[in-house]
Amino acid sequence: MKYLHLIWAALFRSKTRTFLTLLSVITAFLLFGMLDSVRVAFSSSANVAGTNRLITTSKLSITQSLPYRLQSQIESVPGVKKASYATWFGGIYQDPKNFFPNFAVGPGYMELYPEYVVPPEQLKAFYATQDGAIVGEQLAQKHGWKIGDTIPLQATIFPTKGSNNWNFKLVAIYRVSDNKRKGEENTLMFNWKYFDEANDYIKGQVHWYVIDVANADQSNQVAQAIDKLSDNSDHETKTQTEAAFNQAFFKQIGDIGMIVTSIMGAVFFTLLLLTGNTMAQAVRERIPELAVLKTIGFSNRSVLWLVLAEATLLVVLGGLIGLGLAALIMPGVSSASRGLIQLPSVPAATWGLGLALMLIIGVVVGLLPALRAMRLNIVDALAGR
Amino acid sequence: MSRTRKWLGNTGVLLALVAGLVVWVMLPWFAVLALVIALALWLAFTRSGRLTLEAARIGISSLPQRWGASSVIVVGIAGVVGVLVAMLAMGAGFESTLKQTGNDSTAIILRGGSQAETNSVITRDQVPLVSALAGIARGADGRPAISAELSQVVNMVTRADHTDANAQLRGVGDAAWALRPQVKIVEGRRFEPGKRELIIGQGARKQYVDQQFNDLKPGTQIELANQVWTVVGFFASGDSHDSELWADVETLGSTYRRSAYQSITVKLDGKDGFNKLKAAMAADPRLKLDVDTTQHYYAKQSENLSRFLKVLGIVIGAIMAVGAVFGALNTMYAAVAGRAREIATMRAIGFRGLPVVVAVMLETMLLALIGGLIGGLIAWAVFNGYSVSTLGNNFSQVMFQFKVSPELLWNGIKWALGIGLVGGLFPALRAARLPVTEALRAA
């Protein structure tokens, strides 16, 4: 620690070079912070969601519907606290580009998601209003909707009285307290009963059930018991935890992990080379100085440590600034785009991995120059040979 | 005073550089060619050009001694170009797979407002009404060339991790083959009407396995909707049908209790067939249907994802490019500092500012060009033809391949030269501004 000022002085011996190297380390870790947060969000977004919830869909395919009468049967399965259901609606608001999920939900659906905060009187109004709708705060802000507004949706699947025009009355707005999950505020939900009566195509059909289990440890048994209800019927079901359901869905969108890892590989390879070169240069330039240090009594080992510490300090400094920038930028982009682009904030896992990478890269790039400095022969170095 | 002037000068150069880069990115290839020829002529036929060439030759001949430092520029830029080209190739591959699926001589008919086949319903009584409309071409048998189809999303087991993925099972009749001549059986045979037989696209064959995790081959049995289906053949189409499973439309309909169809594909009669069909459809109040050329329908499906990938690729590429610029600046500053005496000597014996600046720039651009070529080559070698899949508009998997086109490679080279330009300019200016006497005196 007492050598910190020495290391610091050595680092800023050539300001331009250190500054430029620092900047490239910063950009590399900025990119790392952003990409790795996305990767973590994709692989674990499921895990932050409730572990107590199960999702039941048709075994045949996700687009196949299930009879709504299953609800009472599911609720009587031991270990099930509550169950509700939903039917995908897939309506369009003004333009297909405005896509947001919208579906009809059964009674008690909102209560299954305690993390969705709704003022109690609004929730009551939602269940009481036949054509009432509930939307997330971000979605409402994005389109400038207020309580009491009428929201017209174009149906893509279910016409009503021969027309595709559906109108819903906005009576409730929910918020998600967890900042990481603000993306879930992009949904519109309305009463299933109204949907069931008003649509021309299907009666008494739902697309999925959400089930609250009393004890998360029993999820597997409960899921099997639920699937058993419809064994060998024409509507066999597939029940899995919400986490597994989400993960399977994300995985189908594309192998995000593979793409992110290969980009990061390219970035770090470049970074390694860049910083390594700078350190080699710095040591080469300072050979006489290092020789002087050795002459006045610094041991070989402490010279090794000095150079190694310098390299590590440079990388850690740049890395921390880069990750910090990523942590600042990502929520900024999310809020500036008003939820259009959802970027997660930098999670602890990314900070940890980033820190480990900084130390490793620091040591790797510093090692060769440090060894060179350690092996320096004082007489040769002073003579400039 | 001179500090302020220098600072102002640098800011001016920076602004000019930004403007130059914007123009550079938009420059078409022939303008670039003209630029290169103009540069070559200047180098060959003017006095300062020849001096530049000499100065550049001295710099470049000393490159092997500075290989370690120079490779920073090469590898840094290769990284940027590789990532950029790979990301753009992914978007291009998806776009071209979907675009090839459609053409302007066939049209697809869906229920009004439904956007995608999965959402659409076309009742059986609408089919004869549609086939009577104007604008539809006639097949070899003299009947209207129309194919009413079903599109069912089914769960298939993926090869990668044995989880379920959404696959599109298309129910077709005889007419579908004539409407899609690109679909060819590559192994086995077509399914027989009335039997529970499947044929599978070559993309889907690679993506999925049967329920016992064995490869799909003719004779494989798959359970769908509690019924056993036999795989009898495989087909190739080179477009998004490759991701699909096909079966007889009537058998599929009865298995999934579907009394209605979901889409009708028709062959258009001549150039204005589409307009005639559209007008005829609008005139019939019984048909609340949307009609679109398949070309437009499939192109629309790729729009969002390929735009997203393009923006993502450019943003990531740009951030990496900034990092590479710093690396190049670092290296070139060091190179100029290391050769300070040499450059001062050259200036002392009569080399003017311009040749010195251009010589350093040429050196950087050469390294950048090598880096760009390496990056592009790696992206091409690794990713061209690399298969990936994603969820398409019909809520089912679409397989596509990365497509590294010459155009993308050309773009990558342009980026590389742009980075080289920025990374070389400031060190070059420093070389030209080096006070001769001081540089000569300094050891």
Query: What confidence tens digit (pLDDT) does each residue in B170-214 have?
Result: 999 988 998 999 999 999 999 999 999 999 999 999 989 988 899
Distance CA B278, CA B291 (A): 7
Distance CA B380, CA B399 (A): 19
Question: Residue A293 above 60 pLDDT?
Answer: yes
Choose the mutation target among B320, B383, B402 for the interface with A, i.e. most A CBs under 10 Å: B320
Per-residue pLDDT tens over the stretch B337-371: 888 888 888 888 888 888 888 888 898 999 999 99
- Check CB contact under 8 Å for B79 and A236: no
Q: Are strands B184-188 and B227-236 parallel, antiparallel or unpaired?
A: antiparallel
Compute the radius of gyration of chain A from its Cα atoms: 30
Confidence of residue A337 (pLDDT cuts 50, 70, 90): low
The residues, any chain, with a CB within 8 Å of residue A371's CB and separated by 6 or more, are A304
Question: Residue A208 above 90 pLDDT?
Answer: yes
Percent of chain B predicted with pLDDT > 90:
33
A248-251 contacts at long range (C-beta below 8 A, 24 or more positions apart): A248/B163, A248/B164, A250/A42, A250/A45, A250/A46, A251/B161, A251/B163
Question: Residue A348 above 50 pLDDT?
Answer: yes
Residue among B385, B389, B401 nearest B158 (CA)? B389
A94 Ramachandran zone, left/alpha/beta (phi>0; psi -120 to 50) = left
Q: What is the 3-state secondary structure (H, E, C) of B154-180?
A: EEEEECCCCCEEEEEEEEECCHHHHHC
Place of tokens 């597939």: A238
- Check CB contact under 8 Å for A27 and B152: no
Q: What is the pLDDT of residue B140?
A: 81
Question: Residue B253 above 50 pLDDT?
Answer: yes
Distances (CA, A) of A136 to A42, A175, A183, A322: 21, 6, 9, 33
- Check CB contact under 8 Å for B83 and A281: no
Tell me which DSSP letter residue A130 carries: T
* Residue of chain B with shortest Cα separation from A268: B79
Contacts of A252 in chain B (CB under 8 A): 165-166, 389-391, 397
Question: Residue A165 above 80 pLDDT?
Answer: yes
Distance CA B365, CA B419 (A): 8
Q: What is the pLDDT of residue A46?
A: 47
* Residue of chain B with shortest Cα separation from A272: B72
Per-residue pLDDT tens over the stretch B70-110: 888 898 899 889 989 988 998 899 899 888 898 989 999 99
Question: Residue A339 above 70 pLDDT?
Answer: no
- Check CB contact under 8 Å for B224 and A266: no
Among B residues 99-118, those touching chain A with beta carbons less than 8 Å apart: 112-116, 118
Mean pLDDT of chain A: 84
B171 Ramachandran zone, left/alpha/beta (phi>0; psi -120 to 50) = beta
Distance CA A369, CA A280 (A): 5
Q: What is the pLDDT of residue A256?
A: 65
- Check CB contact under 8 Å for A277 and B76: no
Among B residues 145-184, those touching chain A with beta carbons less than 8 Å apart: 152-155, 161, 163-166
Question: Residue B282 above 70 pLDDT?
Answer: yes
- Check CB contact under 8 Å for A253 and B390: yes
Structure tokens given for A67: 């009879």
- Check CB contact under 8 Å for A269 and B72: no
Task: Summarize the confidence of residues A26-39 as an average pLDDT.
Answer: 84
Q: What is the pLDDT of residue B379?
A: 92
Q: Are strands A188-191 and A205-206 parallel, antiparallel or unpaired?
A: unpaired
Do residues A358 and A319 lie in contact, with contact meaning Cβ atoms separated by under 8 Å? yes
- Give me the residue from A28, A63, A154 closest to B323, CB to CB: A28
Per-residue pLDDT tens over the stretch B419-439: 998 888 889 888 888 888 888
Task: Summarize the confidence of residues B405-414 as an average pLDDT.
Answer: 92
Mean pLDDT of chain B: 88
Confidence of residue A180 (pLDDT cuts 50, 70, 90): low
Question: Residue A335 above 80 pLDDT?
Answer: no
Confidence of residue A324 (pLDDT cuts 50, 70, 90): very high
Question: Residue A341 above 80 pLDDT?
Answer: no
Q: What is the pLDDT of residue B268?
A: 92
- Check CB contact under 8 Å for B330 and A20: yes
Query: What is the pTM assigned to this prediction?
Result: 0.80
Contacts of B288 in chain A (CB under 8 A): 162
Choose the mutation target among B83, B94, B367 for the interface with A, i.e. most A CBs under 10 Å: B83
Hey, is A200 helix, strand or coil? coil
- Check CB contact under 8 Å for B154 and A273: no
Per-residue pLDDT tens over the stretch A137-146: 888 988 999 9
Do residues A139 and A187 lie in contact, with contact meaning Cβ atoms separated by under 8 Å? yes
Contacts of B154 in chain A (CB under 8 A): 60-61
Q: What is the pLDDT of residue A1?
A: 60
Structure tokens given for A100: 């947001």
* Residue of chain A with shortest Cα separation from B423: A20
Structure tokens given for B87: 């990301």
Task: Summarize the confidence of residues B266-283 as an average pLDDT.
Answer: 90
Task: Summarize the confidence of residues B123-139 as an average pLDDT.
Answer: 90
Question: Residue A44 above 60 pLDDT?
Answer: no
* Residue of chain A with shortest Cα separation from B84: A263
DSSP string, A240-305: EEHHHHHHHHHHHH--HHHHHHHHHHHHHHHHHHHHHHHHHHHHHHTHHHHHHHHHTT--HHHHHH
Choose the mutation target among B111, B159, B224, B330 for the interface with A, i.e. most A CBs under 10 Å: B330
Distance from CA of B378 to the nearest CA of A (A): 11
Percent of chain A predicted with pLDDT > 90:
27
- Give me the residue from A155, A255, A281 closest to B113, CB to CB: A155
Question: Residue B442 above 70 pLDDT?
Answer: no
Tell me which DSSP letter residue B114 carries: -
Among A44-58, A133-147, B383-397, which stretch is predicted with the lowest mean pLDDT?
A: A44-58
Hey, is A232 helix, strand or coil? coil
Hey, is B386 helix, strand or coil? coil
Percent of chain B predicted with pLDDT > 70:
99
Distance from CA of B359 to the nearest CA of A (A): 22
Do residues A157 and A199 lie in contact, with contact meaning Cβ atoms separated by under 8 Å? no
Hey, is A137 helix, strand or coil? helix
- Check CB contact under 8 Å for B320 and A62: no
Cα of A192 vs its chain's centroid, Å:
30
Among B residues 314-333, those touching chain A with beta carbons less than 8 Å apart: 316, 319-320, 322-324, 326-327, 329-331, 333
Task: Summarize the confidence of residues A79-87 as an average pLDDT.
Answer: 92
Q: What is the pLDDT of residue A43?
A: 64
Burial (CB < 10 A; 0-12, 13-18, 19+), residue B349, is exposed
- Give me the residue from A96, A259, A270 closest to B76, CB to CB: A270
- Check CB contact under 8 Å for B320 and A270: yes
Per-residue pLDDT tens over the stretch B20-35: 888 887 888 888 899 8
Choose the mutation target among B301, B326, B382, B397 for the interface with A, i.e. most A CBs under 10 Å: B326
Task: Summarize the confidence of residues A70-78 as an average pLDDT.
Answer: 91
Per-residue pLDDT tens over the stretch A306-319: 889 988 998 999 99
Task: Summarize the confidence of residues A58-84 as an average pLDDT.
Answer: 88
Q: Does B91 touch chain A (CB under 8 A)?
A: no
Q: For B177-325, where are the E strands, in sequence order?
A: 184-188, 197-201, 208-209, 221-224, 227-236, 244-248, 263-267, 289-293
pLDDT higher at A339 or A30: A30
What is the count of residue pairs from A and B with beta carbons less than 8 Å apart?
Answer: 136
Structure tokens given for B32: 């670039």
Per-residue pLDDT tens over the stretch B132-150: 898 899 888 888 999 999 9
Confidence of residue A42 (pLDDT cuts 50, 70, 90): low
Range ranked top by mean pLDDT from A1-15, A368-382, B5-19, B134-148: B134-148
Choose the mutation target among A17, A23, A24 for the interface with B, i.e. most B CBs under 10 Å: A24
